[in-house]
Amino acid sequence: MKWGIIATWEMALEGVIKVSNGLDKGMNSADAVEEAIKVVENNPKYRSVGYGGLPNEDCEVELDAAFMDGDTLSIGAVAGIRNFKNPISIARKLSIERFNCFLVGFGAEKYALANGFEEKNMLTKESIDIYEEKKKKIIEGSISPYEGHDTVGMVSLDMDGKMCVGTSTSGLFMKKKGRVGDSPIPGSGFYVDDNIGGAVATGLGEDIMKGCISYEIVRLMGEGHKPQEAAEKAVEKLNRELIKRRGKAGDISVVCMNNKGEWGIATNIDKFTFAVATADLNPTVYLARNEGGKTRMELVKE
Ligand code: SD4
C-alpha cells in the first residue's frame, strides 16, 4: 500500500522528513500529521506558526489549529488560543469529542489546561522586536499590516489507506484580537475524506473562506478529477470570481492528495513552496508559481 504526505511551505520539510520514515514503516496518518506539525510549531524560526509566531495588534500570540480524520470525518479545532505549546495536539484531542469539538479563546485554553496540555509563553523576544519595528513602519505608511502569514497545513495517507489533515498558524500579522482565518474552519482551511482525499489551504483566510476551497478540491477529486486538476480548477475559479466580484483576490495556495497517494498543488501567487514525500518520492521541496493563470512547479531541494 502507498503512503504519502504533502505540506504547505518549505518550513514543513523537517517535519515531513521526520514522519516519512515513520509512514514508510507503518506509522498512522494521524500521528504523522500531528508529529510533523509539532516540529514546525516548536521551531521559533518560523514566524507564522506556534512558538515565535507573530503577534496580533495587541502584541499577543493567538493561534489557530485544526485536525481532521478522513475515516470518521471527526474534526477538532481551536482558534485564538494563547499560551499553549502545541495547538495541533489540542485540536487532535478535540476531534474525539462528540460535542464541543471546536473551541475558541478562553474556552480553548480552559480545555487545554484541564486536559494536561503544556502551557508556554509563545511570544519570543525576536517576535516582539519584529512587532515593534513593523509597527513603526505601518504607522509611517511604508508597509501595510496583514502582510506576513504562512500556515502549515498537511495531508497524509498511511499504508492502511487512512488519511488525516492538520493546520496550524498564528494567522495574519497584526490581526485584530479575536480575528480567525480559514485555517481552523472546516472546508475552508482543510478537509479530508479518505474515500476520496484531502486538501489544505494557506493564504488570506478572509478570501479563502469565500470559496470553501479545501472542500471544493475534495469534491472535485470525488468527481474524478486528478489532484493537480482539482487544485488548479478550484484556485483558478475562486481567484477569477474574487477579481470579477471584488476587484482583487488575496493570496490563495493549496496542496492536496488523493487516497492513491497522487498529489496536486495550485497557487495564485508567484512564490509558493511546499514539501512532499511518498512511497515513490523522497522528501522534496518544490517552488510553485502562477504564470498566466496556470500553476508551474520547479524543484528546490531533494
Ligand atoms: C489565515 N490562512 O489566518 C491563514 C494565514 C496563512 O499563509 O495561511 N497564511 O488567514
Summarised one tens digit per residue, pLDDT across range 115-139 is 999 988 888 988 898 889 888 888 8
Q: How far is the CA of 172 from the centre of ligand 1 (A)?
A: 6
What is the total count of domains within the chain? 1
pLDDT computed for residue 149 by the predictor = 66
Task: List the one residue out of 46, 45, 117, 42 whose CA is nearest residue 78.
Answer: 117
Q: What is the CATH number of the domain that holds 188?
A: 3.60.20.30
Q: Annotated catalytic residue: which of 8, 72, 151, 295?
A: 151
Q: Distance between CA 299 and CA 272 in Å, rounded?
A: 12
Ligand 1 atom closest to the Cα of residue 149 is: 9
The phi and psi torsions of 274 (rounded to 5 degrees) equal -150, 160
Task: List the one residue out of 21, 225, 189, 175 whose CA is nearest residue 91.
Answer: 189
Q: How far is the CA of 146 from the centre of ligand 1 (A)?
A: 10
Active site residue 151: yes
Q: Distance between CA 186 and CA 15 in Å, rounded?
A: 23
pLDDT at position 147 over 70: no
Question: pLDDT grade, residue 141 (50/70/90)?
Answer: confident
Task: For residues 98-117, give the mean pLDDT.
Answer: 98
pLDDT at position 154 over 80: yes
Ligand 1 atom closest to the Cα of residue 153 is: 8
Put simply, whether the predicted model's pTM sits higher than 0.85 gets the answer yes
Domain that holds residue 247: 4-301
Contact 86, 208 (CB under 8 A): no
Task: List the one residue out of 215, 165, 169 whose CA is nearest residue 53.
Answer: 169
Task: For residues 234-250, give the mean pLDDT.
Answer: 97
pLDDT at position 142 over 80: no
Rounded percentage of the chain residues whose pLDDT exceeds 70 = 99
pLDDT computed for residue 25 by the predictor = 96
pLDDT at position 174 over 80: yes
